Amino acid sequence: MIERVDTLQQYMQHKAHNRSRAKRWLIRFPRALPLGIFLLIAAITIVSVWAVERGEQQRDLAQLNARATAIASALERRANASSAYLRAGAALISTMDAVPAADFRRFVAELRLDVDSRGAEGIGWARIVRPGEEDAFAEQATSSVRQPVSMFPALSGTQPYAVPVTYLNPDTERARRALGFDMFSEEVRRSAMLEAERTERPTATDKLVLSQEGAVSQEGAGQAPGFLIYMPVFKSTPQGRALKGYIYSPFNAQNFLDSALELEEAGAYGIRLYDEEASENSLLASTYDGNRVNRALVTKTVVVAENPWLLTVSRAQDRGLSGLSMATLIFGLLVASLLMLVVRMLTQQAQEDEASINWFAEQASIRNSLTRELNHRVKNTLANVLSIIALTRRRSSDLDEFADGLDGRIRALSATHDLLTQSDWGSTPVGAVIDAELLPYAKDGDHHVTADGPDVELAPNDALSLGLAVHELATNAAKYGALSKVGGTVSVQWEQVDDGLVRVEWLERGGPPVAQERPRGFGTDLIERVVAHELRHPVELDFDPEGVRCVLLVPVRQRKEFMIRAAREAKRDQSAT
């Protein structure tokens, strides 16, 4: 049997040694490993979401850049179309000595600006008026619109000439408000006209407020900003070419932007058009909703009639992740959770396997220890039996006496063995051992038997020795002592002297006087030799005339010193707490 137990132990050790490294990690880190895998997958998911979002942003930026380029091209096409009309008008007027109102009106009507204005509020003619020609200008302008028109502001001495608005068609109430206004007197318009004269190309002004709006400067608070495109008209003279005037188009900046967006829709984009720099003071037009939050911004330079402007196109901020990012995040978290659950299940399985292996190993160890302890206890018991047989045979005069003595002592051993079996060969109380041996006499009304003492637990071998000693004392008392006479008393008292020793005192009273001259019997030898040897303490046995007195010193040992499952039970108790 020992060989089978050793074989089982070797098998368990071999199996534990051959466990995979993964299982060892699972057992060593039962909580950290699943959590680490979850965090790893979650980190990969977050990086993936970041990459998706970055790709979405780059795609949006590319789309935004393409949209900005298309809108800038649309603005330039609108400006080029208006410039083409002005070039055509300048070529026509340069061939005419005078510019009659009817002819100019018919020219503008042929352009059909009322159908396709391209953001312009019309086309106007502004002739050069030199000092002394103010009255002639007023007469011509008045006759064209049949209402009084005069030039304003008056020509100053520092100004070489004036460029007042002579005609502005289509003829509307707004257009008539601008008639007579000297555009050369205002700095922004004057700069554009001089640049146009120098380059002989259509030139746009910077941001300003149109005279049709009722103001002639940029301080017109609350009025829509606009701009003008000038084209110079020259006439031939004997001295060469001379400036005759300007054909021009006034634009409302917002209408100009809206007309360009008819070619390229703004959609969900925010568009702003600035004069030179991106600031609120230089803002010309906008389709931007101030409640939006910019996610991306693209800036383009737009050249409108030789004047560089700034175009910004932005897209509203999405409040949240994109659909692909959200799907990636959800899928990643689901995978991370699933993997964590699977690893957790594997961890539990590994722990159960480890517990099973440990249990089998523990059982093998217990079987081994039980087998060895059984062998040891059987040898001790057989040795006690052999000693009892030898002493009984030596002190018996015939076979019947030998059989009776041997039977009683074997029964005493058996009674104590029953107690040990009930306690699973654990500790046994002193009172239980004494009560078991005195039970046949305790119920006899002719005698008085008392047993009293604290609750003290004894080791199995010590309990056997004490039971054998009490049996011999009780048998001797029944034959010759206090239990052989009516009214006799036996008192057994015990007390714990210290943590490792209990003192048991046997005292008989009321029996026949004890003979002082007597042969040495088997009980005396058994108690003083066998029991004293087993208990490892001398036995004090006095044969007083009043009754026998015996004092036994029994060792009190810790459970771990004699109980092979003490370590296991302690481990279980610790786990339970």
pLDDT at residue 333 greater than cutoff 80: yes
Q: Report pLDDT for 251.
A: 93
Instruction: Give tens-digit pLDDT for 167-213.
Output: 998 888 888 989 999 999 999 999 999 999 999 999 999 999 998 77
Q: In sequence order, what are the residues at sequence separation of 6 or more whose Cβ sits closer than 8 angstroms to the Cβ of residue 491?
A: 450, 451, 506, 507, 509
In this structure, of 35-39, 58-62, 259-263, 278-282, the range with the lowest mean pLDDT score is 259-263
pLDDT of residue 527: 77
- What is the structure's pLDDT at 378? 64
Name every residue whose Cβ is closer than 8 Å to that of residue 377 and which is 6 or more positions away in sequence.
460, 461
Q: Which two tokens stand for residue 111?
A: 């352009």
Q: Residue 249: what pLDDT?
A: 94
Radius of gyration of the chain measured on its C-alpha atoms: 62
**Comparing 4-13, 201-210, 470-479, which segment has the lowest mean pLDDT?**
4-13
Q: With bands split at pLDDT 50, 70 and 90, how would you rate the model's confidence at 16?
A: low
Q: Does residue 261 carry a pLDDT above 50?
A: yes
- Please provide the average confidence, as pLDDT, over all residues in the chain: 80
105 by Cβ neighbours in 10 Å (0-12 / 13-18 / 19+) ranks as: middle
541 against 522, higher pLDDT: 541
Which value, to the nearest 10 degrees, does the dihedral of the CA atoms of residues 344, 345, 349, 354 take? 0
CA–CA separation, 178 vs 131, rounded Å?
21
Distance CA 273, CA 261 (A): 12
User: Would you say the pTM of this structure is higher than 0.95?
Assistant: no
> Which value, to the nearest 10 degrees, does the dihedral of the CA atoms of residues 176, 179, 181, 183 take?
100
* Statement: residue 274 has pLDDT above 90: yes
pLDDT score of 240 = 82
Of all residues in the chain, the percent with pLDDT exceeding 90 is 24
pLDDT in the model for residue 511:
86
Q: Where are the alpha helices (DSSP H) in 200-322?
A: 253-261
Whether the per-residue pLDDT at 539 is higher than 50: the answer is yes
How high is the pLDDT of residue 219?
A: 46
* For residue 228, pLDDT beyond 90: yes
Question: Strands 283-286, 428-429: parallel, antiparallel or unpaired by DSSP?
Answer: unpaired
Predicted confidence at residue 116, as pLDDT, reads: 56
Q: Is the pLDDT of residue 250 over 90?
A: yes
pLDDT at 417 over 70: no
Tokens 């204005």 found at: 117
What is the per-residue pLDDT across 426-467, written as a single tens digit (0 to 9) for each?
A: 678 888 888 888 877 776 667 788 899 998 888 887 888 888
| Span 151-180, average pLDDT | 90
Tell me: the pLDDT tens digits for 114-125? 555 567 888 999
Per the model's pLDDT, the better-predicted residue between 562 and 283 turns out to be 283
| Digit-coded pLDDT (tens) for 278-321 | 888 899 998 876 555 455 688 999 999 999 999 998 876 666 77
pLDDT of residue 295: 58
pLDDT at position 217, please?
43
pLDDT for res 84: 92
Q: What is the DSSP letter of 304?
A: E
Return d(Cα 9, Cα 16) in angstroms, integer.
Answer: 11
| pLDDT over 70 percentage in the chain | 75
437: three-class secondary structure by DSSP = helix
Residue 435's pLDDT is: 84
pLDDT digits (tens, 9 = 90+) for 481-531: 888 888 889 999 999 888 889 999 999 998 888 877 666 666 677 777 767
Sequential DSSP letters for 142-171:
HHHHTS----BSPPPTT-S-B-B--EEES-
Q: State how far the Cα of 457 lies from the Cα of 351, in Å rounded to an integer.
A: 38
Enumerate helices (H) and strands (E) in the chain, giving the number of each: 16, 16
Which of 30-34, 187-191, 218-222 shows the lowest per-residue confidence on average (mean pLDDT)? Answer: 218-222
Task: Give yes or no for residue 260 having a pLDDT over 50.
Answer: yes
Instruction: Determine the distance from the C-alpha atom of residue 123 to the mean position of all C-alpha atoms in its chain, rounded to a whole number.
Output: 68
Please say whether the beta carbons of 557 and 465 come within 8 A.
Answer: no
Segment among 57-71, 117-131, 423-437, 546-560 with least mean pLDDT: 423-437
